[in-house]
Amino acid sequence: MELYSSYISRLIGELSVLPGIGNKSAQRLAFHIINMPKDKVENLAGAMIEARNNIRYCKCCYTLTDSEICPVCADEKRDHTQIMVVENTRDMTAYEKTGKYEGVYHVLHGAINPSLGIGPGDIRLPDLIKRLQSVDAREVIIATNSSIEGETTAMYISKLIKPTGIKVTRIASGVPVGGELENIDEITLSRALDARVEL
Amino acid sequence: MELYSSYISRLIGELSVLPGIGNKSAQRLAFHIINMPKDKVENLAGAMIEARNNIRYCKCCYTLTDSEICPVCADEKRDHTQIMVVENTRDMTAYEKTGKYEGVYHVLHGAINPSLGIGPGDIRLPDLIKRLQSVDAREVIIATNSSIEGETTAMYISKLIKPTGIKVTRIASGVPVGGELENIDEITLSRALDARVEL
């Protein structure tokens, strides 16, 4: 005999593929959702579908946004000659929250990771090189995570860009080694930006 | 300026009201969902809505099911004179997984919790009393959690039913005190059932 109704089993199955959601959490969430008011469930499901359908990559910096050009790239007051390279949109948001950075971004959507077979061509790195050929960049600030993959990516980008004469900097090691950028407080992130060193 | 697109912010907001999902987890889930294939997001959203719309309470034992009478109550081979009282459908499933129990269930959907203002009338307890008046019950096994609320509920039910002459038992204290029934292994649950004592 099926232990749960097929509707519940299916929902548990769908939920348990999400990151950080094991089978127990999926069960808990499924029963919570079944007990939620109908309109709340529709709101939740609708938010998922709408976000998935309306979010795309910014044509300029490749962050996730709902317009052709993201608000940061579209802002004429920002310094478009200073480009901060980050691993993902959440890291970009972490720096936006500091309110201290006035340049623009380039979102890689990943980091070089040979053990997972992720090479420079699998992230938005070729797009960065192409972008640097068409814009007048003064400085590229590398703000990848201080993990092994992030450091590898930083070194790789540095070696690629330095011959072009563009200044390449790396956010200071105020960021704890092994830490994830998105979990760090805004003051530490600000200090790491101020103390950036040329590579 | 909005840090995220309104679609992302809305999705993060909807996800962060789910139990055990904080703001960081909600962000992580939201970006995972945005990067999922379109049909997978539709499957996930559809599973939520379908489960919510098709699941109802069994007319007999009040477990969550997709038919008027749940498969356990509809099974004529089960012993309908032995009723196990549990706090929720997941706890019922935990006992079904042992394969050792041949009676039927009554799902309370909660436990008496005076500090949260949850009294006997706020859970499916009046329905149990009504049910016992119309069926020929031989034994009521109380399998609420061994938390304070679960023990309180067990004592309350016992005092209510004993005067009617129906045998009232409580699963043995093999279940660790303070533990949640759904997290306990099947052997411990089986032993607790075998060693049940009359209240």
Q: Show pLDDT as tens, one digit a residue, over chain A (199 residues).
A: 567 888 999 999 999 999 999 988 999 999 999 989 999 999 999 999 999 999 999 999 999 999 899 999 999 999 999 999 999 998 898 888 888 899 999 999 999 999 999 999 999 999 999 999 998 899 999 999 878 899 899 999 999 999 999 999 988 766 666 667 777 777 777 767 776 766 6
Does the complex come out with an ipTM higher than 0.85? no
Give the closest-approach CA distance of A159 to chain B in angstroms. Answer: 30
Task: Enumerate domains of chain A plus CATH numbers.
Answer: 6-54 (1.10.8.420), 59-198 (3.40.1360.10)
A179 burial (CB, 10 Å; 0-12 / 13-18 / 19+) is middle
Q: Which of B13, B30, B47 sits opposite A11 (nearest CB)?
A: B47
Provide the residue type at B121 as one letter. Answer: G
The two structure tokens encoding residue B51 = 């489960």
pLDDT digits over B111-148, tens only? 999 999 999 999 999 999 999 999 889 999 999 987 88
Distance between CA atoms of residues A171 and A160, nearest Å:
18
Measure CB to CB from residue B10 to each of A15, A47, A182 and give the nearest one.
A47
CA distance B114 to B118: 6
Chain A residues in contact with B18 (beta carbon < 8 A): 29, 32-33
A7 to chain B: which residues are within 8 Å by CB? 47, 50-51, 54-55, 66
Q: Do A45 and B50 touch (CB under 8 A)?
A: no
**Interface contact flag, A8 B64, Cβ < 8 Å:** yes
Q: Whose CA is closest to A111, among A93, A91, A97, A130?
A: A91
Q: Do B20 and A15 touch (CB under 8 A)?
A: no
Cα(B69)–Cα(B72) distance, rounded to whole angstroms? 8
Tokens for B194?
């075998």
Distance CA B50, CA B52 (A): 5
CA distances from A10 to A4, A15, A96, B48, B51 (A): 9, 9, 39, 9, 8
Q: For B52, which of A5, A34, A88 is closest by C-beta distance? A: A34
Residues of A in contact with B34 (CB under 8 A): 51-52, 55, 64
Chain B: residue nearest A90 by CA?
B27
For residue A67, the chain B residues in CB contact (below 8 A) are 5
Contact flag A48-B11 (C-beta cutoff 8 Å)? yes
Report the gap between the CA of B164 and the closest CA in chain A (Å). 32
